[in-house]
Amino acid sequence: VFGEAYPDPVRVVSIGVEVDQLINNPENDAWKTVSVEFCGGTHIESTSQAKRFALLSQEGIAKGIRRITAVTGDEAIAAHALADEIEQATDALTSLPGDHLQNAHAELTKRVEGAVLPAPRKNAIRAKLAGVQKQLKELAKAAAAEQAKKASALAEGIASSAEGSSEEVVIASLELGSNRKALEAAMNTVTQRCPNKAVMLLSPDQDSGRVAVMASVPKPLIERGLKAGDWIREVTGIMGGKGGGRPDNAQGSGQDLSKLKEAGAHARTFAFSQIS
């Protein structure tokens, strides 16, 4: 084994059958199903002295050679006890409301990766966490669909108001958080109903403290001097952010939510200064 020379007789370790039984009846075919190995440096007389065993990992270190890392005794007992605790916490995730589930799942995932756990149990916990991750994606998808529906309703209201106004500039704030797809949907709704107006929509995200901003400018207003990229840079700059894009379409974000009202006022002032 590993190029080492062994004396005759050699010490072996048998699991499940006493060595004396093997020696007394060496031709017994039943021994083919028993684990009998050369001594690799055991330090106990019986497996009962090990108390418990925990396989922590295995890895390839050379062609045809794998290294197994395991612990016994109190360390193994602690590893299994920790696995019990984390597994219970993982099972309890599904009872959490959606707004708490994301953070709890992230914290538990991080804990699992840094914990000393029996490898089979760590893999089983990872599989459960993957199932919860799938559930989170489904919840996020449903929330996004609901927010898109909300965006459409808000945009219809903005468009209706804009259609009845003689102003060539539409500026509105919608509570859509950081959902840019919903903001894009709202922008499409307003510009389709008001194709000759310059439109800027701002969406504050209370959780991150940021503001998503989008702008659309029709060709006649571009020719009069208002460009969406410049408009976005002016407005996001008020909020400590940045952005840009084409003359007809641009987007960006602001970093300071407290400047939202000031940014909206500046958006109007700048737009009219360019087209007047």
pLDDT tens for residues 34-62? 888 887 776 777 778 889 999 999 999 88
- Residue 68 shares a structural domain with residue 83: no
Residue 129 in domain = yes
pLDDT in tens, 186-225: 999 999 999 999 999 999 998 889 999 999 999 999 999 9
pLDDT at 2: 60
If we measure between CA atoms, which residue out of 257, 244, 243 comes closest to residue 211?
Answer: 257
- Residue 84 shares a structural domain with residue 171: no
Domain ranges, residue 16 = 12-74
Q: Residue 108's CB: how many other CB atoms inside 10 A?
A: 19
- Residue 174 shares a structural domain with residue 242: yes
- Residue 186 shares a structural domain with residue 258: yes
Start-to-end Cα distance in the chain: 89
- Residue 226 shares a structural domain with residue 189: yes
pLDDT at 69: 94
Beta strand 249-254 pairing with 210-216: antiparallel
Residue 23 in domain = yes
- Residue 85 shares a structural domain with residue 69: no
Residue 181 in domain = yes
- Residue 194 shares a structural domain with residue 261: yes
- Residue 55 shares a structural domain with residue 125: no
Beta strand 35-38 pairing with 65-72: unpaired
- Residue 107 shares a structural domain with residue 136: yes
User: What is the value of pTM for the model shown?
Assistant: 0.59
Q: How far apart are CA 212 and CA 185, in angstroms?
A: 14
CA dist list (Å): 86 to 56, 62, 129, 259, 264: 16, 34, 11, 44, 48
Which of 29, 56, 74 marks a domain boundary?
A: 74
If one counts the domains in the chain, the total is: 3
Residue 113 in domain = yes
Q: Is the peptide bond before 9 cis (omega within 30 degrees of 0)?
A: yes
Residue 200 in domain = yes
User: For the chain (length 276 residues), average pLDDT per consecutive 10?
Assistant: 72 86 91 84 79 93 90 95 96 87 94 95 96 91 83 90 92 88 91 95 92 96 96 96 95 95 96 92
Q: HSE (CB half, 13 Å, CA atoms) of 98?
A: 10
Q: How far apart are CA 8 and CA 17, in angstroms?
A: 21
Residue 158 in domain = no
Which of 141, 175, 191 marks a domain boundary?
A: 141
Give the CATH number of the domain where residue 179 resides.
3.10.310.40
Residue 47 in domain = yes
